[in-house]
Structures are given as structure tokens and as C-alpha cells.
Structure 1
Amino acid sequence: MSAAPSVLYDAPGPKARRRSLVLSVVSSLVFLAIAVWVVLRLRSTGQFDPDLWSPLYWPTDESFAQVWGQIRIGVTNTLLAAVLAIAFSLVLGTALTTLRLLLGRYSRLPVVLLAEVLRGAPVVILIFFAARVLPQFGVDLSQLWYLVIGLTAYNFVVIGEILRAGVAALPKGQREAGLAIGLTRQQTVLQIQMPQAFRLMLPALISQLVVIVKDTSLAALVLTGPQELLNTGQRLSQFFDNPLQAYLLVALIFIFLNSILGRLAVFVEKRLSRSKGRDKGERDDPANDKHTVTSTKVPDMGGGFST
């Protein structure tokens, strides 16, 4: 019996399946050949020497404890900078979106101009300006705070744009319903539109938070500190003369941190969806409606009719 035809796409025929199999095999062989070439190249340059790997990856090495003490400091500073930048970006991004929604067409032009300037500037330039310009105005802070300011200056604008897109994607009836029940324009934005925009754009927001965590590594390019994760990897690679092994470890740690953040995003999204489903079910349940008539029986007035 032949398989039922798909309603989404045409099932591939014998030639298409054979062509796909050939391409898959050829691609796998090419990838395997490249991997073998890379391994042989690394072996010929001595990159598999145990002395290059053991200080970072082997617990019995005499330098392992000291090395991972430095890595712990780097991870702590990276997470601290990321958490502060995320918190400030979310608060300022929400305020920016709210301000753009409440201001008139011409009165919001300065806000739009500021958003376009900050969004168009590279993050590393903003971090550099924070570290070089602010001290000229007497703002003397630690290198960690310059990193946080630079990350916040760029990412709060991006988060604001994400939330504004979420509000624009909502049905117009949401705003009209809020105004119809007597809410002010500000109350409609804050109590009706913004909460739904957060829930609607949660995947995009989480993706931007992952970008913030990765962008903390830019501090190693323009700042003399703080000792964040990439800066720690640079110092270790210079001390042990093993840049490949050190940067590989830094990359693995960043992947691990961002994977945790991604898992947290999936968990939060599922909880919000489940909560939304429960709320909808309770609203749709007639037993929870105070105005539901529990009995349709009409007292018998002598005529003998009842329903």
C-alpha cells in the first residue's frame, strides 16, 4: 500500500531520494576529510602535547587549582556584568517603549533619534566611549561599570524595539477595549499592551539576553579590565603559551552559560503558556461565571407550565 500523500509538500520520488542520499554521503565524506586534516595539522604542530592541556583540563596538574581559581573570577565578573546589563537594559528598554507609545508624533522625535544613534553604533565603540569619555566629565568608575554602561547603551534600545514590535503585533482591539472601559492611555499601555508584548516577544528577548552575555567578552578588546572570562583566557594563554586550549575552554564555558540561559527561557515560556491556558480555561468555564443561571425552573403559578 502506498503512503498517503502529504498535504504540505510533494513526497520525493526515487530520483530525488537517491540524489539526497548521494549529497548526504558526499557532504559527510568532505566533513570527515576536513576533520582528519585539522587533526593531523594540529598533531604536526604539537598541539596535542599533554603539557598544553593538563593545566586547564587535568585536575591532578599542580597548576590546575590556581588556573581554575582565575577562571572562577572571570566567570563571576562576566556573570555580574551580564546580569547588571540585562537588568538595566530591560528597565530602560521598557521605559523607552512606553515613552514612544505615549508621546505624540513630533514630541517623540528626540527619543527616536537617540534610539537610532545608539542602535546604529557598534557595541565595542559604545564601551570604548564609556571608558574614555565619561572620565573626562568626572565620572570615575571601575572598568566593570564602563562595560555595563556600554552594553546597556546598546541593548536597551534593541530591547525597546523588540517590545515596540510586540505592541504593534497586538490586535488594535486591545487598546480600544482598554480605553472603552475607562482606562487612560498610560494605563492601557502599562496594564494591557506591555504585559502582552513581553509574553509575545519572549523568545526574541531571551535571544538578546544571550547576546549580552556573549558581548561581555568585548571588554578584553578595549578595556584594561575587568578580569572577565575572555580576558582571563588571554592571560592564561600567554602564561602557558597554549592559545588554542585556553580559548577552547573559554568557548565551552560561554556555550554552557548560554545553554543554561536558553533552557531557562524555554522553562519560563512553558510556564507562561501553561498559566495563560489555565486562565483562559477558568474564564471559559461556565461554573466560574457569577452571572450564569444555575436553575431555569420557573415557579408554578397555577397554570402548570414550567421549564
Structure 2
Amino acid sequence: MTALGLHGDTRSTALYDHPGPRTRRRHLLYGVLSTVVLLALAAWILYLLFDTGQFTEAKWSPFTYEGIQELLLRGLGNTLKAFAYASVLSLLLGAVLAAGRLSVHRPLRWLSTVCVEFFRAMPVLVMIFFIFVALKVQPLPALVAGLTLYNGSVLAEVFRTGVNAVDRGQREAAYALGMRKTQVTTYVLAPQAVRAMLPAIISQLVVALKDTSLGFLITYEEFLHAGKLIASNLDYDLPFIPVVLVISPVYIGMCMLLSWFATWVAKRERRSLKTRAVKVAPADPGAVLPGPGQG
């Protein structure tokens, strides 16, 4: 026990040396200098905003009107609606394409690979414009279709990589029990892969959420489109910066909420695994199992 403990301590110190007093002082100095630089940058930006009159009453008065508030709320609702459709369809398309890329049938695997590589390489804005202009699709379906094709192809690679990352022994053990390939993927590989894929999935959904702002280019009345109307079509000395200061924190807050949700799901899953591990505790090696004649 002591030898193992010493070996573990030696290995940990070999991988990471605890900083000495001089290194800690240097790290503290770096931290203080970084904080000062960030505070100075923030102060400079605030000075520019005040100096150019971005906080005057004339520029912020539009947000006190009920019509402007309803316009922003309607735009936010349209953004969330487009994101909801695009996220669900992207996950479904990603699962289908990943299943095709993992298929043992070569034509299906090739077709899925071509779709993934094509839509992943195509700029999402080009796809949205093509669907909206060339196919004459309404703004919301065009936006959702473009986001689905792009994000679905990216998620397909995330799903495929996650499934392939599961320990090979899990796959072989499932086949040894007589399970078919579909059952192995559905009941053995996918549940284990989801835990590893979750951060990448949420990151891609954040990208989809931010890309909904491209809808204003095809006249879809989403959140950014509502802000553009306020900043350019009202005679309030063009409150462009106030609109940015209102819209940006909302987008940042929604992205942070998605990240928080991913962290919460991951922690909940880890607690669930620990609970199941405790319930399935190994038997005591010294315990005597009851024989045929024992109760």
C-alpha cells in the first residue's frame, strides 16, 4: 500500500510541479496586469459610448414605447421558433446521416458521406439564399431548411465519432449476446456515446441559435430584424448602438442558458451513473452462498 502511494505521488509530481513562491508571485502579477488591462479596455469603451452620446434619452426613448417592445418580443419569439424547428430537425437529420455513414451497406454509406461532406462544406448563408430565391420558399422554411442541412451534417459527424469512440469491447460483448447491429447501436453504443457527445452537440446548437440571425437577410422577422427596423427606420437619431446593447445580451444569455443546460444534464447523468453503481454493488468475496438444502 505504501509503495503504491509513493509511486502515485511520484507520478503526480512528475506530471505537475507545484509552483514555488517566485512562480506564484509571477502568476499573481500576470493576473493583476490582465485585470487592469481588461478594466482599462472596458473603461475606454464606456468613455467612447458616453462621448458619442450613445446613452442620451433620445436614443433610448424608443424602447419605452409599447409598440417597440412588442416588435422586439415578436422578433424574439420568431427567433426561438426558428431555432426550435432547426434544432430538432438537425438532430434528426444528423442521426439519419450518421446511421448511413455507419452502415455496412456501401451505397448507403457513400450516399451519406457525399451528403455530409457537401452540406458541411457549403456556406449556410448560400444554402439559405438558394432555397429562398431559387426554390421560392417562404422565409421561415428557407431559414430552417438551410440551418438544418448545415447543422445536421455537422452533427452527423459528431454522432459518428461518438459512436466509434465507445470501447470496442462493448460492441463485441453485445454481439456475443446475440444482438443485431441495430440493437447494438441503439441500446449499447448510442447511450454511452451521448454522454461524450453532449458538449459538442450543445456547441453546435449554439451555432444554430446564432445563425438564426441570418434570417433578417431574407426578410424573416426575427430578433435581429426587429432591431434593424428600430435602428434604421425610426427618426430617433439612429439608435444603432443602443439596439446592439439591447439585443447582444439577449443572444449571449440564450447561448449561456444552453451551455448551463448541457452542464446540468451532464452532472445529472454522472449522479445517475454513481447511483446505479452503488445499487449494483459486488458481493462479498467471503460470503457463503446458500446451498441447495439451505433456505
Q: In the alignment, is residue 147 of structure 1 matched against residue 143 of structure 2?
A: yes
Displacement, 1:186? 2.1
Give the 3-state SS of the residue equivalent to 2:24 in structure 1: helix
After superposition, where does 1:93-108 map in structure 2 within 5 Å?
A: 93-105=94-106, 107-108=108-109
Q: What is the TM-score with the length of structure 2 in the denominator?
A: 0.85
Moved over 6 A (4+): none
Pair 293,70 (structure 1): closer, same or farther in 2 beyond 3 Å: farther
Give the 3-state SS of the residue equivalent to 1:47 in structure 2: coil
After superposition, where does 1:101-120 map in structure 2 within 5 Å?
A: 101-105=102-106, 107-120=108-121
Unpaired stretches in structure 2, ≥5 consecutive residues: 1-8
| Structure-1 separation of matches of 2:102 and 2:191 | 14
Matched to 2:223, the amino acid is L
Query: What is aligned with 2:244?
Result: 247
**Is the Cα–Cα contact under 8 Å of residues 98 and 190 in structure 1 kept in the other structure?**
no
Output the aligned Cα RMSD: 2.5
Displacement, 1:286? 4.7
After superposition, where does 1:72-221 map in structure 2 within 5 Å?
A: 72-105=73-106, 107-135=108-136, 141-220=137-216
Q: Show CA shifts across 1:43-86 (max 9, x none).
A: 22211212212433xxxx3x1x2211111111111111001111
Query: What is aligned with 1:283?
Result: 280
Give the 3-state SS of the residue equivalent to 2:55 in structure 1: coil
Matched to 1:277, the amino acid is K
Pair 281,28 (structure 1): closer, same or farther in 2 beyond 3 Å: closer
Matched to 1:86, the amino acid is S
Displacement, 1:236? 1.1
Matched to 2:165, the amino acid is A
Unpaired stretches in structure 1, ≥5 consecutive residues: 136-140, 300-307
Query: What is aligned with 2:3?
Result: none
Aligned positions, number: 279
After superposition, where does 1:6-25 map in structure 2 within 5 Å?
A: 7=13, 8-25=15-32
Pair 30,262 (structure 1): closer, same or farther in 2 beyond 3 Å: closer
Identity %: 37
Within the candidate set 260, 264, 268, 2:261 is matched to 264
Q: Show CA shifts across 1:239-294 (max 9, x none).
A: 2411111011111111222222222222222222222333333333559xxxx975
Q: What is the TM-score with the length of structure 1 in the denominator?
A: 0.82
Within the candidate set 295, 300, 304, 2:290 is matched to 295
Q: In the alignment, is residue 33 of structure 1 matched against residue 40 of structure 2?
A: yes
**Is the Cα–Cα contact under 8 Å of residues 102 and 186 in structure 1 kept in the other structure?**
no
| Structure-1 separation of matches of 2:199 and 2:37 | 35
Matched to 1:120, the amino acid is A
Larger radius of gyration: 1
Give the 3-state SS of the residue equivalent to 1:183 in structure 2: coil
Q: In the alignment, is residue 67 of structure 1 matched against residue 58 of structure 2?
A: no
Query: What is aligned with 1:304?
Result: none
Pair 272,19 (structure 1): closer, same or farther in 2 beyond 3 Å: closer
